Amino acid sequence: MKENIKRIGDAESAYVQEVLATGFSGSRGVDMVGRLEKCFAEKFGSAYAIAHINGTATLHSSLIAAGVRAGDEVIVPPLTMAATAMAVLQADAVPVFADVDEETFQIDPKCIEKLITPRTKAIMTVALYGLSPDMDPIMALAERHDLVVIEDDAQCFLATYKGRMVGTIGHLSSFSFQSSKHMTAGEGGMVLTDNPEYADAVRRFSVLGYAGVSRKTGKVTKDDIQNPEYDRHISLGYNYRMPELCAAVSLGQLERLSELAERRIDVAKLFSEAIQGCSWLRPQVTPSDRTNSCWAFAVRIEHKTVTWSEFRKKFMELGGDGIYATWKLSYQEPMFQNRNFSGKETVLEAAYSGSFQSWKPGLCPVAEKLQKSILAFKTNYWDWNRAEEQAVILKKTIAFFGN
């Protein structure tokens, strides 16, 4: 039996106390954000890390740094939380949805290639449930067509692709510290890149367009800020800065990230063992050239008569904690169906001279099929006894319906 672990440990509390002891005085600050950025970059083997308030702001900043502007197209997967596509709209660009691979659930490079047009500026991948897409052919497409690849790795910490750390393969990558993620500060996010120009652009966009910030610093000096002649803002930017308290918790979590990630992998192994011998539950396939950080343990239900809802209901009747559905495909959400983009639709129509992709049924048939069949079991069990109980309940649920 494995030991129980803490979701929030002693280091997180100690770092928070450091921040509180300053009384939030800038002159007595402990630069927790700077410490976090340095350690995060080192952990992932990346040149630059820029902290943000959340993992959607990171995507917005990355898109702007990549040169995405009004009317440009960005290819995205539809099988993920809609914030990925929303960030494209926030950048006044057009999301173009590419279908996914039926076995891995990840964006399909072959489908990406068919969608590239002269207006395509970037490809945004998503490491869904903790598994990397097939990045080599995606990067090859990007090089051939002069595109920027942005990795959305909100659910993927410390996984690898062909021996490389996920988050260091694309031109930019985005991580989320939202409460359900491998490491958390309640909210928060990080952008990684090895490109100094991208890093400067991300920083400036996320800190109100200040002239005095850069890839290495997120603060303006007192000499500048107290100078009446100082030209502060050299470009439009948003206030996406991470607060010191979030950085303090994140730093403590980062120091324990390997332990936190390993727990999710161990829980996924329990669930994998529980479904052995079941002919109608098929787990997400992790190819041999990748590792999976198991944000969730995702399986497809392929029973001839038992529905997704019936399985979940029985699982919970037997004591299960519940099962997450996969989000509606982004283009199936009402905001896309009704083009209700809070005024952005006017900007897009003015900037975009092409024909919008038809967001109708059948656009991404593999993703549409998967979306209705995926059962996602949570893996964030810090109490090992509870994890073992859930695996037993899963096995009982399968037995109830018959292997």
What is the set of active-site residues?
Answer: 181
Dihedral sign (CA 17, 22, 28, 31): positive
Question: Residue 248 has which token pair?
Answer: 């303090």
Phi (first) and psi of residue 210, to 5 degrees: -65, 140
Long-range contacts of 227-233 (CB under 8 A, 24+ apart): 233/208, 233/209
Q: State which H helix or E strand residue 272 sits in.
A: helix 257-274
Rounded Cα distance, 218 and 37, in Å: 10
Burial 340-362 (b: 16+ CB within 10 A, else e): ebeebeeebeeebeeeeeebeee
Rounded Cα distance, 166 and 163, in Å: 9
Residues with Cβ within 8 Å of residue 75, at least 6 apart in sequence = 96, 97, 98, 112, 115, 116, 120, 122, 123, 124
Return the amino acid letter for 269.
K
Rounded Cα distance, 59 and 196, in Å: 17
Question: Residue 387 has which token pair?
Answer: 């994890």
Secondary structure class of 347 (helix, strand, coil): helix
Alpha helices in 275-383 (DSSP H): 308-317, 334-337, 344-351, 365-371
Are β-strands 164-165 and 160-161 bridged in parallel, bridged antiparallel, or unpaired? antiparallel
Residues with Cβ within 8 Å of residue 338, at least 6 apart in sequence = none
Rounded Cα distance, 311 and 46, in Å: 43
Residue with tokens 């694309």: 170
CB 113 within 8 A of CB 127: no
Residue with tokens 């192994």: 269
Q: What is the dihedral of CA 277, 280, 286, 292, to 10 degrees?
A: -90
